[in-house]
Amino acid sequence: MPPLPAGLILDAEEQMAFEQMGGRNTITFNRLGDNQTNSSLHFTTLGD
């Protein structure tokens, strides 16, 4: 599993998604919203 970007804190659901996808793809995190409670986490997978 690739390391998380410094300072990024994932909740349980995000962590599970990261672990499921982390072995195969490079992941970029884009947080939208004012704070972690309201933000959406979008996964962009690069390559196959």
pLDDT at residue 28, as a whole number: 54
Residue type for 17, please?
A
Mean pLDDT for the stretch of residues 10-25: 67
Task: Please answer whether residues 4 and 10 qualify as being in contact, where contact means their C-beta atoms are separated by less than 8 angstroms.
Answer: yes
Mean pLDDT for the stretch of residues 8-22: 71
Look at 11 and 1; give whichever has higher pLDDT. 11
Q: In whole angstroms, what is the distance from residue 36 CA to residue 48 CA?
A: 29
Q: What is the residue extent of each domain of the chain?
A: 12-46
Question: In Å, how far from its chain's centre is CA 41?
Answer: 6
pLDDT at residue 39, as a whole number: 46
The pair of structure tokens assigned to 4 is 């998380």
Task: Please answer whether residues 40 and 11 qualify as being in contact, where contact means their C-beta atoms are separated by less than 8 angstroms.
Answer: no
Look at 4 and 26; give whichever has higher pLDDT. 4
Is residue 14's pLDDT more than 50?
Answer: yes
Q: Is the pTM for the entire model greater than 0.95?
A: no
